[in-house]
Amino acid sequence: MTTFSSRAFFTGLVLWTLLISQEMPGQTNRKQVGVISQELMDILMELPAYIDPTLPAPRLVIEPPFTLGTDNTVYWYGDSVRTWLGDRGMRLLFFEIEASYDDTLLWAPIPANADSAFFTDMPMGIRIYYRLRYFARDSLDQYLMSYWSEETWSIQDNNPPILYSVDILNLQESGDIAWVVGQTIHMRVQASDPRGQVMEIVIQENSATVDDTLYHPVEPPSDTVNTVIPYTFRSPAHVPIMLSVWVVDVSGQDIGKYTQTLFWWPDEEAREQMVCFPNPFNPEADEVVTIRVDDPGVQEAKIFDPFGNLVQVLQKTADSNIFFEWDGRNGRGDRVSTGGYICVAVGNTRRYCKIAVIR
């Protein structure tokens, strides 16, 4: 790969510069960039003052619409040019690459064995057009020139996208507890990239059993996103899940994550009046069992051991009408032993669930 900077300026090759500058009369700021080897210098100085293009045009690799930062590498299919010339007894001398924007045109001769060129310090936020041609010599030592390749363009982008909001539809919250009914959720994501385009929405799920990432493409990429995405949890029901969402633009930049810790209930359990989860649970791993009682009239829940002895009396969690939490301790603050326990809640009717403690 050949590297050169838009701030470098080569002052030699006067005749050559005059020759090719006639092709782009609208370019008032034309710069030859980069360092040229002595071998390539000798070739350039031997070229005649004018060469008719007769050879087929080369092909540039199509540029992405947006490129990260102020630097850009432009690629082309050099092997196809070398093979085509070699089959006809010709020798590739060098490529010539151009980058143009506004009233500026950058050009550089590139060695015959190269397939790319690296531009630095390119301007931001505007289209930069690239094109390529090559020079060769035939078996009679005549100089030949190709037609220009089709142009390709890209915009330098150094501004990450903006994630405005992620709303999980039908998310239910009570205190520090958040949940949804059903394994599939729908999320409304709003984002934008004023100087680029959002390419994909990334959804990451982390739990005790799952570490998975889903890439949801934005088709076509857009500077504004307001969409609803379905997502099906891989984690089992009742397991705390950390869900993270972020967006990535075409140049590969991303933005800070939205995160939400939640769990999901099966549809049939959501209709039950009392549910305990996770079940079993391990207090020594700092796990807490959450007890849902679908009766706002219930003010306390009691934990009993298998022999009917009262272990703990639970009060509702802050700002909740339906949730209790038990950390696996008795009334004295000691962790209970491994085994089965019963949680009983009395309101308009008597409800209970069995809880398994493992240590």
pLDDT digits (tens, 9 = 90+) for 313-329: 998 877 677 888 999 99
Question: Is 279 found in the same domain as 215?
Answer: no
**How many residues does the structure list for the chain?**
359
| Residue 327, both tokens | 């950390």
Question: Is 200 found in the same domain as 148?
Answer: no
Query: In 10 A of CB 253, how many CB atoms?
Result: 19
Question: Is 307 found in the same domain as 170?
Answer: no
Give the domain-ending residue among 125, 157, 189.
Answer: 157
Query: What is the pLDDT, as a whole number, of residue 175?
Result: 61
The strand pairing partners of 251, in sequence order, are: none
- Residue 264, judged by CB atoms within 10 A of its CB (0-12, 13-18, 19+), counts as buried
Question: Is 287 found in the same domain as 223?
Answer: no
Question: Is 170 found in the same domain as 140?
Answer: no
Query: What is the pLDDT, as a whole number, of residue 258?
Result: 94
Give the domain-ending residue among 124, 157, 190.
Answer: 157
Q: What is the pLDDT of residues 20-29, one digit of tens each?
A: 444 444 445 7
d(CA 282, CA 160): 42
Closest CA to 131 of 96, 164, 159, 88: 96
| Residue 309, both tokens | 């002895």
Give the domain-ending residue among 95, 126, 157.
Answer: 157
Question: The whole model's pTM is what?
Answer: 0.67
Query: What is the pLDDT, as a whole number, of residue 24?
Result: 45
Instruction: Give the CA radius of gyration of the chain.
Output: 34
Query: What is the pLDDT, as a whole number, of residue 268?
Result: 72
Question: Is 348 found in the same domain as 208?
Answer: no
Q: Which residues of the chain have pLDDT under 50?
A: 1-27
* Residue written as token pair 């030859």: 32
Query: In 10 A of CB 271, how many CB atoms?
Result: 10
Contacts of 337 (CB under 8 A, 6+ apart): 357, 359
Q: What is the DSSP string of 168-225?
A: ETT-EEETTEEEEESSEEEEEEEEE-TTS-EEEEEEEEE-SS-EEEEEEEEEEEESEE
Rounded to the nearest 5 degrees, what angle is found at the Cα of 181, between the Cα atoms of 176 and 183?
110
| Structural domain boundaries, residue 347 | 272-357
d(CA 243, CA 154): 34
CA torsion sign, 332 to 334 to 339 to 343? positive
Q: How many domains does the chain divide into?
A: 3
Question: Is 139 found in the same domain as 176?
Answer: no
d(CA 178, CA 317): 13
Question: Is 108 found in the same domain as 46?
Answer: yes
Instruction: Give, for 326, the enclosing helix (H) or strand (E).
Output: strand 323-326
Question: Is 219 found in the same domain as 124?
Answer: no
Amino acid type, 129 = Y
Cα 47 to its chain centre, rounded Å, is 48
Q: What is the DSSP string of 87-98?
A: HTT-EEEEEEEE
Query: What is the pLDDT, as a whole number, of residue 10?
Result: 31
Closest CA to 242 of 205, 213, 268: 205
Residue 323, SS3? Answer: strand
Cα 65 to its chain centre, rounded Å, is 16
Alpha helix (H) residue ranges in 146-299 = 267-270
Q: What CATH number does residue 320 fall under?
A: 2.60.40.1930
Question: Is 185 found in the same domain as 118?
Answer: no
| Residue 333, both tokens | 């603050």
Query: What is the pLDDT, as a whole number, of residue 273?
Result: 72
Question: Is 219 found in the same domain as 259?
Answer: yes
| Residue 113, both tokens | 């064995």
d(CA 290, CA 277): 5
Contact 198, 249 (CB under 8 A): yes
Q: What is the four-CA torsion angle of 234, 237, 239, 241, rounded to 10 degrees?
A: 40
Q: What CATH number does residue 76 fall under?
A: 2.60.40.10
Question: Is 146 found in the same domain as 11?
Answer: yes
